[in-house]
Amino acid sequence: MTAYYAVVATFIVLAAGNVTWQIWSPRFRHHEPTDCGAGLDALKRGVARARQAAGELSDASEDAALARFRQALLPEWDRRDAIAAACDSNADLATALDVIERLRYAEERAVRREVSELAPLRRRVEQLRTSPPYP
């Protein structure tokens, strides 16, 4: 019984330590100085580029379109935490960052919708256009 409790206690301590580290480690990170305005512009360009890249895949699966969208967000979105740290001191810029992040997630949902709902409809309409089922 002692061995069982030791294993369970070890697991609980390791899991709690992992969760605690995930919560508090961002506060201890130091980012290189970044211009908030330039960073926000870079994030916007990344979203626009990702939207265009995902739109180029007309017959791709949802996973492939999402992977292409997320890949096209880089390298700007790798620096998101540094940009957020630079924008923290100004409430208006922090709000702008929030709006850009919401746009990113809305665009990602749009990519999913595009692939899963609209692409099959477009293919069907194209089939109807080339061979109409009506006299």
Distance CA 78, CA 103 (A): 17
pLDDT, residue 58, reads 60
pLDDT, residue 112, reads 85
For residues 47 and 104, the answer to whether their CB atoms sit within 8 Å is yes
The domain locations on the chain are: 1-30, 35-130
pLDDT tens track of the chain, all 135 residues? 999 999 999 999 999 999 998 888 766 666 677 899 999 999 999 999 999 888 776 666 778 888 899 999 999 998 998 899 889 889 999 999 999 999 999 999 998 888 777 777 777 777 787 776 665
Residue-by-residue DSSP string for 21-55: HHHHHHHH--PPP--HHHHHHHHHHHHHHHHHHHH
Write down the pTM of the prediction.
Answer: 0.67
